[in-house]
Amino acid sequence: MITLSNINKTYYLRTDKPLLAKELFFPQAGQKIQALNHINLKITKGETIGILGQNGSGKSTLLKVIAGITTPTSGKLQVSGRIASLIELGSGFHHDLTGLENLYIHAALLGLNKDQTTDALADIITFADIGKFINQPVRMYSSGMIIRLSFSIAIHVKPEILLIDEVLAVGDQFFQQKCFDKIRELQTQKITIIYVSHVLHTVKAFCTRTIIMKKGRITHDGKTNKMLQIYQSQL
Per-residue pLDDT of the chain (235 residues; tens, 9 = 90+): 899 999 999 988 766 665 555 555 555 556 788 999 999 999 999 999 999 999 999 999 999 999 998 999 999 999 999 899 888 777 778 999 999 999 999 889 888 899 999 999 999 999 999 999 999 999 999 988 998 999 999 999 889 999 998 777 666 788 888 889 999 999 999 999 999 999 899 999 999 999 999 999 999 999 999 999 999 998 7
A 10 A CB-CB count for 165 gives 22
CATH number where 86 lies: 3.40.50.300
Q: For residues 82 and 191, what is the distance between their CA atoms, to the nearest angstrom?
A: 10
How many Cα atoms sit within 13 Å of 110 on the Cβ side?
29
Residue 228 and residue 235: Cα distance in Å, rounded?
11
CA-CA distance, 222 to 182, in Å (whole number)? 25
Please state, in angstroms and rounded to a whole number, the distance separating the CA atoms of residues 87 and 93: 13
- pTM for the predicted model, two decimal places: 0.86
The residues, any chain, with a CB within 8 Å of residue 65's CB and separated by 6 or more, are 4, 7, 9, 36, 71, 72, 77
Q: How many domains does the chain have?
A: 1
Residue 125 Rama label (left phi>0; alpha psi -120 to 50; beta): alpha
Torsion of CA 165, 170, 175, 180, to 10 degrees: 30
Q: What share of the chain is helix, strand, coil (3-state, %, to 5)?
A: 45, 30, 30
Segments forming the whole domain that contains residue 78: 2-234
Distance between CA atoms of residues 222 and 51, nearest Å: 11
In this predicted structure, what is the pLDDT of residue 73?
A: 95
